Amino acid sequence: MQRAAAAHEDASMTTETATRARTLVDLPSPKGVPVLGNALKMDPKRIHLVLEEWERELGPVFTIRLGPQQVLVCADAGMLQTALRERPDKYRRFSPIESVLKEMGGNGVFSVEGEGWRPQRQLVMHALASTNFPAFFPAMHAITERLHRHWRRAAEHGEIVDMGKDLARYTVDVTTALAFGEDPNTLEKPGDAIQDHMALIFPMIMARVNAPFPLWRYIKLPRDREFDRSLRVVQEHVHGLIERTRKRMAGLPPLHPHNLLEAMLQSSAQPGSGITDDIIFANVMTVLLAGEDTTAHTLAWTMYFLGTRPDIQPRMHAAAVEALGEARVCPAFDDIKRLDFFEAVAHEATRLKPVVPALYLETVTDTVLGDVALPPGTPIFFLLRPSMLDSDHFANPAAFLPERWEAGHHQVQPHDTRAYAQFGAGPRVCPGRHLAGVELRLVLSMLARNFTLELAVDPATIAEVSAFTMRPSAMPVRLTPRPD
């Protein structure tokens, strides 16, 4: 189906053409019920699938109603890129996201808006700059070696590997070590791990952001009490990270900070910095949650395609042997650039199974997007997958073709990278995207070098679950060691 909009280069309209723009009432909409509108259909675990189903029925631009609020739903890549470029002046993140995260103490660089965003952004971007990665590499290498040992033991004993759990633990270990200067080694610690509590947070954020009424602020249901217990554990963990770092730094001369948390604490001590304890807490929590969730789910969905497309594995193994030689894990940071194909595999996996299936924005001023006039405060739900499955953007779009992402590869055309917005774009592009790329390369090259993989369940039983990001319902696999 042809979905490309005519105004991809600049979906904004001039004042003259704005007078001819459509309004929200001119757009198609699915049937709803009185008062609640379409809210009853918005199952938080399936919200992206519900919206995509309506998009197939109604087209790439339509509206839904959540209680009294009219929402624009858009699957046009050009309109999305325009909105992302014009943040924060014309668009902001959907305001309930900020309010929900703020009451959790997590209103950090991801969700904060207005004047509070820029200083937080500068701090996080500096800490996660790619120029810091050579110094990060020894810790990342050690944690990847730990993951290899863990998987080899499981493979030698014929155990089924719960990839969702293992990858979450791996990414928490990497994020905590690099951003906060501690290696929690959750991969090898039995029992209750911090990410078991973190796993409850994103689904509840999704449910509360899309709730037509904030009932949890007045009545606590059992799921709210369970969430509150897990949130307290995560908050205590974050407070512990901050206090231990403060103690390490106490009495020492000012030095170049070794991680994000040290940088925040040093900045907060400067007169007029504006970096308060609340801001530090919010950003530690933000980095911990975001660093675990998106990368772990990207890797898990990549495992799905390696299981359903085993013909990809020999090429990955050959590429890993060529890059790593006899090493089991990428031995040096300079070798990371030789692992382009592994990041290409992950990109292709998330084109078909996007970890970020939707972006939730809101207008700040009167504006026209595409040919639709929008008043201030209009929520916009951007759907990402329809554009990535559009043949106007990607050739043979239903096929899993990692080579389409390889630099200098010209046989899979068209290839419109603007339609792939898993890390966002514009001023608020994801600050952790480069770190995620290194993690993807390390884990996938280690896996391909040392193991073959097969799914331990029928792939048809693995469902897409929306929990702010989109994760697989399960990802059990069997690993077989490759001969030395």
Taking only the tens place, the pLDDT of each residue in 122-131 is: 777 766 777 7
DSSP state of 460: G
Q: Which helix (H) or strand (E) holds 93?
A: strand 91-93
Residues annotated within the binding site are 430
Q: Concatenated DSSP letters for 367-398?
A: EEETTEEE-TT-EEEEE-HHHHT-TTTBSSTT
How would residue 409 be classed by pLDDT, with cut points 50, 70 and 90?
A: low
CA angle 464, 466, 469 (to 5 degrees): 110
CATH number of the domain at 35-472, please? 1.10.630.10
Of residues 3 and 339, the one with the higher pLDDT is 339
The average pLDDT across 10-36 equals 76
Residue 190: what pLDDT? Answer: 65
> Is 395 a residue whose pLDDT tops 70?
yes
Residue 302: what pLDDT? Answer: 98
Residues annotated within the binding site for heme are 430
Window from 57-66, 202-211, 299-308 with minimum mean pLDDT: 202-211
Which pair of structure tokens corresponds to residue 457? Answer: 């369940």
The average pLDDT across 326-337 equals 94
The average pLDDT across 160-189 equals 89
Of residues 190 and 101, the one with the higher pLDDT is 101
Residue 249: what pLDDT? Answer: 86
> Is 166 a residue whose pLDDT tops 90?
yes
**Neighbour-count burial for 93-111, b at 16+ CB within 10 Å, e otherwise:** bbbbbbebbeebbbbbbbb
Which pair of structure tokens corresponds to residue 125? Answer: 């971007």
CA angle 49, 3, 386 (to 5 degrees): 25
CA angle 477, 149, 299 (to 5 degrees): 45
Note the pLDDT tens digit of each residue in 130-153.
777 788 899 999 999 999 999 999
Residue 7: what pLDDT? Answer: 39
* Domain range summary for the chain, segments of one domain joined by +: 35-472
> Is 289 a residue whose pLDDT tops 90?
no
> Is 13 a residue whose pLDDT tops 80?
no
Going along 104-159, which residue ranges are E strands?
none
Window from 44-58, 77-91, 337-351, 421-435 with minimum mean pLDDT: 421-435
> Is 3 a residue whose pLDDT tops 50?
no
How far is the C-alpha of 400 from the C-alpha of 418, rounded, in Å?
Answer: 19
Residue 104: what pLDDT? Answer: 86
**Average pLDDT for the chain:** 88
Residue 207: what pLDDT? Answer: 85
Chain centre to alpha carbon of residue 104: 19
Window from 4-8, 213-217, 292-296, 389-393 with minimum mean pLDDT: 4-8
Residue 5: what pLDDT? Answer: 42
Residue 127: what pLDDT? Answer: 67
Residue 450 · residue 481 · CB < 8 Å: yes
Residue 480: what pLDDT? Answer: 97
How far is the C-alpha of 270 from the C-alpha of 460, rounded, in Å?
Answer: 55
Note the pLDDT tens digit of each residue in 226-248.
999 999 998 898 899 899 988 88
Residue 61 · residue 73 · CB < 8 Å: yes
Report the predicted TM-score, pTM, of the whole model to 2 decimal places. 0.88
Residue 27 · residue 63 · CB < 8 Å: yes
